[in-house]
Structure 1
Amino acid sequence: MKLIDKLENSERLSFEDGVNLFDLDLFTLGKYAHKIRTQKFGNKTYFNINRHINPTNICKDVCQFCAYSSSRKNPNPYTLTHNEILNTVENSVKNNIKEVHIVSAHNPHTGLEWYLDIFRKIKEQFPAIHIKALTAAEIHFLSTEYHLSYEEIIARMIQSGVDSMPGGGAEIFDEKVRKKICGGKVSSNQWLEIHKLWHKAGKQSNATMLFGHIESRENRIDHMMRLRELQDETNGFNAFIPLVYQTENNFLKVKDFPTGQEILKTFAISRLMLDNIANLKAYWVTSSVKLAMLAQEFGANDLDGTIEKESINSAAGAASANGMPLQQFVDVIKNSGFTPVERDSVYNEIKVW
């Protein structure tokens, strides 16, 4: 079989190959994905000690899959003050966090300077903390709102202390699907352009893919191919993060939720297709801790982090509202037969637990 020959010889896979991979049985996919994972990382499973902060849920856009933004599904609008954010960071620093991850809604009332100012304040008070902030969707929103180019927004973010970009807002790149689930938000080409510019500025970012809603398997492979193409050009992506769609409290009526097998197949295929993105993150927030650990046998090598508090996915049903204690995180990895390795935000190893 030609596809198996390609896998045996570690050849680069085409779009058609990617689609056909879904027809292979789960354990065959797992065998080849785990082989690559083991060659790159051995038995290590990475995580970081981080804090997620979601400053506001007031949003100009209405994405059908979102349960976080204030709407009739979530009639509790809020915006944190800078002092509240700084107090949160201060308390989290006591827990030895290395990263603060700041993403939220497209709030026309907070504004660009509001964000840049809080980034500066965090850096001034906690210079060792890595700031991962603003998705490409948020950058596009701010660019449109303030009539500034992407380059101008990016330059000001970097000047204000932002160290890396998260991968949110990618959802699924197919524009027909985007129109249904997040019409009006950043387009796929704009998302890719923003990350390309971020990489050209000498910075690194993550990439995500939201799956398990109304997209097809072909849409998933197309998404991966486009990321792989940009990575060939810039080599700026740290990690790929397949995000499992959360079903509760949103307007997207999805009846056929993916099985555990389908989720694990998607992780394994991500490892096989994305031969130039080193790290594959099974984000435990959206996949559940158990499935995220199982994904470590199907190509994944990372779990994200302790998080402490998370509002976006938990609003849609994920069990992540209060994060996970560090020792529990370490124990889960060890009990699954892997070696817990604490990393920084750009995958430098800090400590083997």
Structure 2
Amino acid sequence: MDLLDKTLKGDNLNANELSKLYEYDIFTLGKAADTIRRKKYDNKVFFNMNRHINPSNICADVCKFCAFSASRKNPNPYEMSIDEILSQAISSYKRGAKEIHIVSAHNPNWSYNWYLELFSEVKKSLPDVHLKAMTAAEVDYLDRKFGVGYQKILEDMAKAGVNSMPGGGAEIFDEKVRKHICNGKVSSQRWIEIHQYWHSLGKMSNCTMLFGHIENRENRIDHMLRIKNAQQDFNIVEAKKGGFNAFIPLLYQKQNNYLKVDDFPSGQEILKTISIARIILQNVPHIKAYWATLSMNLALVAQEFGADDMDGTIQAESIQSAGGAKSKSGMEKDDMVFQIKNAGFRAIERDSLYNELKEW
């Protein structure tokens, strides 16, 4: 039995062994990944109506890959008030957003209660909106700053109205790579612990992987295996148990940062990574081809290589666009639907937990 067959069968293989999946022809990997995704979702491609709000770019941590935080390459620090954030959220809701996605830099000027007040105010004004907020990196930062324990932070977030967590801050789990690209940020083990505790509260989250910088193929596979292992007890049917909704391979954006990367991954390397993720992570329901980092065209191609989700309309986006992505103004729903259908797929609007709302 060859390596791909062993992987599909679920054999317990290590990262070094599984990294050799990259040696397969792209169409062989794509066919295997597409078979898995079509058994799950047929010809559906999911998207949602969401709005990203990034309250501040003033950050206590320094990550070499980041173009968003205020620095010499981005000398325009800003921080929004709760009223400003609320105004943007309400405006987006009126334009159709069903999810408000709040992720920020690690701003040293804000109190612990500032975050809880923000979430409470959003939910009080918009009780029907799904509030996705606070990466594990932000939770870890608050724990380091205020010393209250990540468990209490997560419990307080849930009480304040946070419905699910995004997957940011994972980057690459290999600690040698982390030391180079984001030294001092949340550790890989703590990132996983934070998400698992959130899941124990009956909540869902996403998981990400930043790739295409200084990591190697084995680092990527190791990252996927850690997600797979963290998800082992996941049961999407069991209402009282949370877990990872989606795995999101985020392509590194190379502009305006301090991480010198000469070799950018080819389109084939990117599609192979997405296919391998679908093949390995069969216990994570969805694989998202995040158009904000991949481009719309490549994200659509990725739907033939194991991905089944595009993310959403976004409306406004500051983090990836600071690094060169063409996502600053988001995308109109009609354009999203047209692009998905034009590529030969069924355009399915979903909510934040992947309940199907409408086929367009």
- Tell me which interval the TM-score lies in, with the shorter structure as reference length: over 0.9
The yes-or-no answer on 1:11 pairing with 2:18 is: no
How many angstroms apart in 2 are the aligned matches of 1:18 and 1:133?
33
Deviation at residue 110 of structure 1 after TM alignment: 1.6
Counterpart of 1:231?
A: 231
Deviation at residue 275 of structure 1 after TM alignment: 1.2
Counterpart of 1:288?
A: 295
Answer yes or no: is the 8 Å Cα contact 1:132–1:162 preserved in 2: yes
Counterpart of 1:201?
A: 201
**Percent identity of equivalent pairs:** 57
Q: TM-score, normalised by structure 2?
A: 0.96
Residue deviations 1:73-124 (CA, integer Å, cap 9, x gap): 1000000111111111111111211100000100010232111111101111
Deviation at residue 269 of structure 1 after TM alignment: 0.2
- Secondary structure of residue in 1 paired with 2:348: strand
Q: Which runs of 5+ in 2 are unaligned?
A: 236-242
The residue identity in structure 1 corresponding to 2:209 is M
How many angstroms apart in 2 are the aligned matches of 1:111 and 1:41?
43
The yes-or-no answer on 1:269 pairing with 2:276 is: yes
How many angstroms apart in 2 are the aligned matches of 1:12 and 1:311?
41
For this pair of structures, how many residues does the alignment match?
A: 352
Answer yes or no: is the 8 Å Cα contact 1:12–1:275 preserved in 2: no
- From 300, 318, 321, the counterpart of 1:314: 321
Counterpart of 2:240?
A: none
Answer yes or no: is the 8 Å Cα contact 2:295–2:326 preserved in 1: yes
Counterpart of 2:95?
A: 95
Answer yes or no: is the 8 Å Cα contact 1:63–1:182 preserved in 2: yes
Counterpart of 1:324?
A: 331
Counterpart of 2:108?
A: 108
Residue deviations 1:296-315 (CA, integer Å, cap 9, x gap): 00000000000000000000
How many angstroms apart in 2 are the aligned matches of 1:74 and 1:18?
39
Residue deviations 1:123-172 (CA, integer Å, cap 9, x gap): 11110000000000000000111111111100110010000000000000
How many angstroms apart in 1 are the aligned matches of 2:145 and 2:332?
39
Q: TM-score, normalised by structure 1?
A: 0.98
Counterpart of 1:47?
A: 47
How many angstroms apart in 1 are the aligned matches of 2:125 and 2:4?
54
- Secondary structure of residue in 2 paired with 1:237: strand
How many angstroms apart in 2 are the aligned matches of 1:50 and 1:5?
38
Counterpart of 1:259?
A: 266
Counterpart of 2:179?
A: 179
The residue identity in structure 1 corresponding to 2:295 is S
Counterpart of 2:121?
A: 121
CA RMSD of superposed structures (Å) = 1.1
Deviation at residue 212 of structure 1 after TM alignment: 0.2
Answer yes or no: is the 8 Å Cα contact 1:246–1:313 preserved in 2: yes
Counterpart of 2:239?
A: none
- Secondary structure of residue in 1 paired with 2:232: helix
How many angstroms apart in 2 are the aligned matches of 1:94 and 1:186?
36
Deviation at residue 17 of structure 1 after TM alignment: 4.3
How many angstroms apart in 1 are the aligned matches of 2:266 and 2:118?
41
- Secondary structure of residue in 2 paired with 1:313: helix
Counterpart of 2:351?
A: 344
1:216/1:250 Cα in 2 relative to 1: closer, same or farther (>3 Å)? Answer: same
Deviation at residue 343 of structure 1 after TM alignment: 0.5
How many angstroms apart in 1 are the aligned matches of 2:216 and 2:5?
26
The residue identity in structure 1 corresponding to 2:270 is I
Residue deviations 1:188-236 (CA, integer Å, cap 9, x gap): 0000000011001110100000000000100000000000001003450
Deviation at residue 30 of structure 1 after TM alignment: 0.3
How many angstroms apart in 2 are the aligned matches of 1:116 and 1:352?
36
The residue identity in structure 2 corresponding to 1:324 is M
The residue identity in structure 1 corresponding to 2:31 is K
- Secondary structure of residue in 2 paired with 1:167: coil
Answer yes or no: is the 8 Å Cα contact 1:169–1:186 preserved in 2: yes
How many angstroms apart in 2 are the aligned matches of 1:308 and 1:91?
11
- Secondary structure of residue in 1 paired with 2:92: helix
- Secondary structure of residue in 1 paired with 2:78: coil
The residue identity in structure 1 corresponding to 2:121 is K
Answer yes or no: is the 8 Å Cα contact 2:234–2:283 preserved in 1: no
